[in-house]
Amino acid sequence: MRLYRATDYNDMSRKAANILSAQVILKPNSVLGLATGSTPLGIYRQLVEWYKKGDIDFSEVTTVNLDEYAGLPKDKTQSYHYYMKHNFWDHVNISPEKTYIPDGTADDAKAECLAYDRLIAGIGGIDMQLLGIGNNGHIGFNEPGTSFNTDTHLVKLTETTIEINRRFFDREEDMPRSAFTMGIRSIMQSKRILLVASGAQKAEILNNAFLGPVTPSVPASVLQLHNDVTLVGDAEALSLI
Ligand code: F6R
């Protein structure tokens, strides 16, 4: 694992954006696996800024997102589809037909998951997967206890995740209880992984994930078994590493 220590959130965002843009410059038709959540917002902001200055070109890039809430139409402001459009896709020259994210409203969840895995395989797999980490060690929505052998699947969200993510919903009952997520195997098949973390609330779980035992109770610990992982964290997040 490569570890980059950033001073603060902005520095973390810039360092991670540099790694993603290096990937795109070296391989213009890269397949980028993307994440949502609070942590990558600064990365997307930075990439958009560089794109506007003419420093990076996304015209040949394909993106596949990690996850999407089940039951949430894509035009709802809390959907991850909306997040991606609003924070990234709409501001760069990426072709809309090359941006993929599970369809949260799919009636046949199994068929949707299978189609997503086939799609990823069909475009040649993910060159670089961007990941955040949940306070409970989840990656994507692979919650503690998820088998390392999972492909894209529908998950029931844990109470911890519901508690943390409900801040984005007006009413508690609007918060979806399940989500589509790439599985641990889908993530591990990416050629390169870039995990970003910021803030003191991530310190303990990063320590458990990267220096503790590899166990499904800490899903991110599986990354110790991947041969190309880069961790970019700010000083608070890396305070125990
Ligand atoms: C988002 C995702 C989640 C988040 C994680 C951390 O697509 O898959 O695993 O990366 O919950 O979220 P933040 O960045 O909000 O702390």
CATH number at residue 82: 3.40.50.1360
204 is catalytic: no
Give the count of domains, the chain: 1
Ligand 1: residue whose CA is nearest its atom 11: 134
Range of the domain at 37: 2-234
User: From ligand 1's centre to the CA of 166, what distance in Å?
Assistant: 13
- 241 assigned to some structural domain: no
Predicted confidence (pLDDT) per residue in 150-182, tens digit: 999 999 998 888 888 888 888 888 899 999 999
143 counts as catalytic = yes
Q: Which two three-digit tokens encode residue 57?
A: 């070109």
On whether residue 155 sits in a domain, the answer given is yes
The yes-or-no answer on residue 136 being catalytic is yes
Nearest Cα to Cα of residue 139 among 190, 77, 78: 190
Pocket of ligand 1 contains residue 99 by CB under 6 Å: no
Beta bridge partners of 49: none
Q: Compute the mean pLDDT over every residue in the chain, rounded to the nearest whole number.
A: 96
Ligand 1 pocket residue status of 37, Cβ below 6 Å: yes
Considering 65, 67, 112, 153, which one is annotated as catalytic?
67
pLDDT tens for 15-71 read: 999 999 999 999 999 999 999 999 999 999 999 999 999 999 999 999 999 999 999
pTM greater than 0.85 (yes/no)? yes
Inter-residue long-range contacts of 206-212, CB under 8 Å, 24+ positions, other chains counted: 206/133, 206/231, 206/233, 206/237, 206/238, 206/240, 206/241, 207/240, 207/241, 208/137, 209/133, 209/137, 210/1, 210/241, 211/241
| Positive or negative torsion for Cα 212, 216, 220, 224 | positive
